Amino acid sequence: MAEEQHFSISETDDPELTGYIDRAMAAHGRLFEATRQVDEIQFAMCLFQEMRGMREAGWSTADEARTAFSQYIEHMKALEPDDPMAVRISLSLYSYLSESAGVYETSKNMLRIVTGQFHDIMPFRELVAQHKITGEQIAPNANRIMKDILGHAIAAGHDDLGQIILEAFDADLRNGYAHADYVVSNEGIRLPRRNGGQYRVVDYEAFAKLINKAVYFFEVLNHLVHESMTSYTEPRLVYGRINGKDPAMWAVILRDGNRFGFKMGGDIGPETDPNAVKI
């Protein structure tokens, strides 16, 4: 089961950002609905971000991302507009949003399902590398995660999702911050690329668009997860599969108080009254 978390979308008067929110809602909404149509049990599993079996509470980086996001926003509101730390904190938030792979497991798993695969508790496992000397696993960085989702979205015919990712996440900017390869200047954020490559400047107007779109990308996805969980306030009896090995079976998906989950097997069958089931 999962603790339900409410996540709303910030308001804006900027026509470009309003348009971006609308397109992000439409792109994610289309993916959510396509996934639900394939298999509703698989769809419900996608709403459990960072599902890791019986791990105790307090270890989910997806939950932490939402907490950190709220703290970042509150702290930034307290800063003066001309405070130079505002740029650095905004860069930190931008990098954090780029790296929040636990949240983006929802999108990746949905793309898996609409392309004939099944939910995977570690959907980015194929991107994990191994150190040649120590043998330790090396987690993929944000660039590999986003490129993977982008490529999968386009291959699945969800080009609209790919487009909103491209508009929000700038690999150079994220790399510059992550490797302290940037300079905050009067003209904007300079990316020297000290180890080679063409230097560039991201002016503050462009940076404002990027950070706001990344924020809205994050908010929209979390908002739709919350809305999807809430849609099961009236429990639903569904028929589907939890993986590619076990046969299809009946399940009841429900939101019980502030908890969300599903129950299957045992006495759950086609004659089950979903309103009599509790988690």
Q: Tens of pLDDT along 114-128?
A: 999 999 999 998 887
Is 165 in the same domain as 239? no
On whether both 248 and 225 belong to a single domain, the answer is no
Query: Stretch 183-199: mean pLDDT, rounded?
Result: 93
Report the pLDDT value the prediction gives residue 184, as an integer from 0 to 100: 94
Nearest to 92 by CA among 180, 20, 6: 180
Q: Which pLDDT tens digit goes with each residue over 68-124?
A: 999 999 999 898 877 889 999 999 999 999 999 999 999 999 999 999 999 999 999
Residues 147, 268 share a domain: no
What is the SS3 string spanning 229-276?
HHCCCCCEEEEECCCCCCCCEEEEEEEECCEEEEEECCCCCCCCCHHH
150/66 same-domain check: yes
241 and 227 in a common domain: no
At residue 13 the predicted structure's pLDDT band, cuts being 50, 70 and 90, is confident
Report strand pairing: 236-240 vs 200-202.
unpaired
List pLDDT tens digits, range 222-260.
999 999 999 999 999 999 999 999 999 999 999 988 889
Predicted confidence (pLDDT) at residue 21 exceeds the cutoff of 70: yes
Q: Are residues 60 and 97 in the same domain?
A: yes
- Asked if residue 199 is part of any domain, the answer here is no
Torsion sign over Cα 214, 218, 223, 224: positive
| Same-domain pairing of 226 and 117 | yes
**How far is Cα of residue 43 from the mean position of the Cα atoms in its chain?**
15
Q: What is the pLDDT of residue 55?
A: 62
Query: What does the pLDDT read at residue 128?
Result: 76
pLDDT digits (tens, 9 = 90+) for 41-76: 999 999 988 876 656 677 888 999 999 999 999 999
Question: What pLDDT is stored for residue 7 in this prediction?
Answer: 54
Q: Domain for residue 16, yes or no?
A: yes
Write out the two tokens for 31. 């993916």
Query: Residue 91 burial by CB count (10 A; 0-12/13-18/19+): exposed, middle or buried?
Result: buried
pLDDT for residue 142: 78
Q: Which two tokens stand for residue 92?
A: 């930190």
Task: Name the token pair of 175.
Answer: 């790399």
**Number of domains within the chain:** 2
Lateral strand order in the sheet of 183-184: 183-184, 189-191, 200-202
Range of the domain at 29: 8-169+206-231
* CA pseudo-torsion sign 115, 63, 139, 177: positive
Q: Which two tokens stand for residue 262?
A: 């599903």
Percentage of the chain modeled with pLDDT above 90: 70
Question: In this prediction, what percent of the chain has a pLDDT beyond 70?
Answer: 95
**pLDDT higher than threshold 80 for residue 26:** yes
Same domain, 279 and 210: no
The number of CA neighbours under 13 Å toward the Cβ of 173 is 30
What is the per-residue pLDDT across 114-163, written as a single tens digit (0 to 9) for each? 999 999 999 998 887 776 777 777 777 778 889 999 999 999 999 999 99
Residue 8 has pLDDT above 70, yes or no: no
Which amino acid would we find at residue 94? Y
Q: How many CB atoms lie within 10 A of CB 59?
A: 10
